[in-house]
Amino acid sequence: MNPLPPKPAVFLLLLFSVIFVGTHFSIAIDTSNSTIQIINDGDHLVSTNKNFTLGFFSLNNSTTPRYVGIWYSQIPQRTIVWVANRNQPLNDTSGTFALDRHGNVVLFTPTQTISLWSTNTTIQSNDDVSIELQNTGNLALIERQSEKVIWQSFDYPSHVFLPYMKLGLNRQTGFSWFLTSWKALDDPGTGNFSCRIDPTGYPQLILYKGNVPRWRVGSWTGEKWSGVPEMTRSFIFNTTYIDNIQEISITDGVTDDTVLTSMTLDESGLLHRSTWSEQDKKWKDYWWAPTEWCDTYNQCDPNTNCDQYDTKQFYCKCLPGFEPRSNQSWLLNNPSGGCISKRPNAMCRSGEGFVKVSRVKVPDTSMASADLSMSLEACAQACLNDCNCTAYASANELTGSGCVMWHGDLIDTRTFANTGQDLHVRVDAIELAQYTQNSNRPSTKKVIVIVVVSFVALVLLLTSLVYLWKMARKRRERSRSLSYDLGDTLNPNEFDESRTNSDLPIFDLLTIAKATDDFSLNNKLGKGGFGAVYKGKLTNGVEIAVKRLAKNSGQGVEEFKNEVNLIAKLQHRNLVKILGYCVKNEEKMIVYEYLPNKSLDTFIFDDSKRALLNWKKRFEILRGIARGILYLHQDSRLKIIHRDLKTSNILLDVDLNPKIADFGMARIFGQDQNQANTNRIVGT
pLDDT at 109 over 60: yes
| Lowest-pLDDT range of 75-79, 394-398, 668-672 | 668-672
Q: Which letter, b or e, does each residue of 225-247 get, where b requires 16 or more Cβ atoms within 10 Å of its Cβ?
A: bbbbbebeeebbbeeebebeeeb
Contacts of 623 (CB under 8 A, 6+ apart): none
Residue 560 pLDDT greater than 80, yes or no: no
pLDDT tens per residue, range 315-324: 999 999 999 9
Which domains can be identified in the chain, with CATH numbers? 1-156 (no CATH), 161-291 (no CATH), 294-440 (no CATH), 444-477 (no CATH), 487-593 (3.30.200.20), 601-669 (1.10.510.10)
**Predicted pLDDT of residue 644:** 83
**pLDDT at residue 499, as a whole number:** 40
What's the confidence (pLDDT) of residue 410? Answer: 97
Question: What single-letter DSSP state applies at residue 367?
Answer: G
Tell me how far apart the alpha carbons of residues 209 and 233 are, in angstroms, rounded to a whole number.
Answer: 29
Across all residues in the chain, what is the average pLDDT?
80
Cα(286)–Cα(294) distance, integer angstroms: 20
- CA pair distance 630, 573, nearest whole angstrom: 12
Please answer whether residues 129 and 161 qualify as being in contact, where contact means their C-beta atoms are separated by less than 8 angstroms: no
Poorest-pLDDT segment among 181-185, 432-436, 437-441, 457-461: 437-441
Kindly tell me if the per-residue pLDDT of 438 is higher than 80.
no
pLDDT tens-digit profile of 634-657? 877 677 888 888 888 898 888 889
Residue 647 CA: distances (Å) to CA of 207, 532, 575, 650, 661: 43, 17, 14, 5, 10
Higher pLDDT, 453 or 288: 288
**pLDDT band (50, 70, 90) for residue 388:** very high
pLDDT for position 207: 97
Parallel/antiparallel/unpaired status of strands 413-415 and 304-306? parallel
Distance CA 582, CA 598 (A): 22
Q: Point out the least confidently predicted range of 72-76, 102-106, 179-183.
A: 102-106
Q: 62, 81, 83: which is closest to 73 by C-alpha?
A: 81
Nearest-10 Cα torsion for 289, 294, 298, 301: 170
Q: Is the pLDDT of residue 451 over 80?
A: no
Q: Is 672 a catalytic residue?
A: no
Burial 502-524 (b: 16+ CB within 10 A, else e): eebebbeeeebbebbeebeeebe
Q: What's the rounded mean pLDDT across residues 582-604?
A: 85
Among 378, 375, 368, 365, which Cα is nearest to 401's? 375
Given the DSSP bridges, would you call strands 52-57 and 67-72 parallel, antiparallel or unpaired? antiparallel
Please state whether 511 falls in left (phi above 0), alpha (psi between -120 and 50) or beta.
Answer: alpha
Average of per-residue pLDDT across 109-128: 78
| Among 217-226, 227-236, 310-319, the least confident range | 227-236
Longest alpha-carbon distance in the chain = 123
Give tens-digit pLDDT for 331-384.
888 999 999 999 988 788 888 999 999 999 999 999 999 999 999 999 999 999
Decide if 204 contacts 217 (C-beta within 8 A): yes
Q: Which residue has the higher pLDDT, 578 or 374?
A: 374
- The amino acid at residue 163 is P
pLDDT for res 42: 44
136 or 557, higher pLDDT: 136
Residue 512's H or E segment, with its range, is helix 509-515
Between residues 674 and 242, which one has the greater pLDDT?
A: 242
Q: In the prediction, which pLDDT does 1 show?
A: 37
Answer whether 410's CB lies under 8 Å from 425's CB: yes
Lowest mean pLDDT across 22-36, 279-293, 459-473, 639-653: 22-36
Residue 513 in contact with residue 520, Cβ under 8 Å?
no
What is the reported pLDDT for 496?
44
48, pLDDT greater than 70: yes
Cβ(652)–Cβ(613) under 8 Å? no
pLDDT band for position 500 (cuts 50, 70, 90): very low
Residue of 266 and 111 predicted with greater confidence: 266
Question: Considering 517, 644, 655, 672, which one is annotated as catalytic?
Answer: 644
Tell me the mean pLDDT in the region 141-170.
Answer: 93
- Quickly state the pLDDT bin for 481 (edges 50, 70, 90): very low
Residues whose CB is less than 8 angstroms from the CB of residue 430 and which lie 6 or more positions away in sequence, other chains included: 343, 346
Are the C-beta atoms of 151 and 140 separated by less than 8 Å? yes
Which one-letter amino acid corresponds to residue 100? D
Which of 506, 507, 488 has the alpha carbon at shortest distance from 675? 488
Question: What percent of the chain is predicted at pLDDT more than 70?
Answer: 78
Predicted pLDDT of residue 613: 84
Cα–Cα–Cα angle for 431, 435, 438, nearest 5°? Answer: 140
pTM, to two decimals:
0.61
Task: Determine the pLDDT at residue 160.
Answer: 98
Which pLDDT belongs to residue 397? 86
Q: What is the pLDDT of residue 62?
A: 84
Q: How far is Cα 168 from Cα 165, in angstroms, rounded to an integer?
A: 10
3-state secondary structure of 19: coil
What pLDDT is stored for residue 321 in this prediction?
95
151-165, 242-256, 338-352, 462-476: least confident range: 462-476
* E strands present in 219-349: 237-243, 247-254, 261-265, 271-277, 282-289, 304-306, 316-318, 322-324, 339-341
Strand partners, 80: 71
Question: Of 174-188, 221-235, 334-348, where does mean pLDDT reach its minimum?
Answer: 221-235
Q: Which of 529, 531, 551, 564 is nearest to 666 (CA)?
A: 564
**Cβ neighbours around 110 below 10 Å, total:** 15
pLDDT number for residue 245: 94
pLDDT (0 to 100) of residue 406: 97
Q: Which of 176-180, 310-314, 366-370 has the lowest mean pLDDT?
A: 310-314
Q: Which residues contact 301 (CB under 8 A, 6 or more apart)?
A: 316, 335, 336, 337, 338, 339
State mean pLDDT over 163-172: 96
Q: Please tell me the predicted confidence (pLDDT) of residue 221.
A: 93
Q: Is the pLDDT of residue 672 over 80?
A: no
Compute the distance between CA of residue 357 and CA of residue 363 in angstroms, rounded to an integer. Answer: 12
Assess whether pLDDT exceeds 90 at residue 237. Answer: no
Return the percentage of the chain with pLDDT > 90, whole number: 40
pLDDT-derived band at 40, boundaries 50, 70, 90: very low
pLDDT exceeds cutoff 50 at 619: yes
The DSSP bridge partners found for residue 285 are 274
Ligand-binding site membership of 547 (annotated): yes
User: Please, what's the b/e burial string for 402-424 (b: 16 or more CB within 10 A of its CB; e: otherwise)?
Assistant: bbbbbbebbbbbbbbeeebbbbb
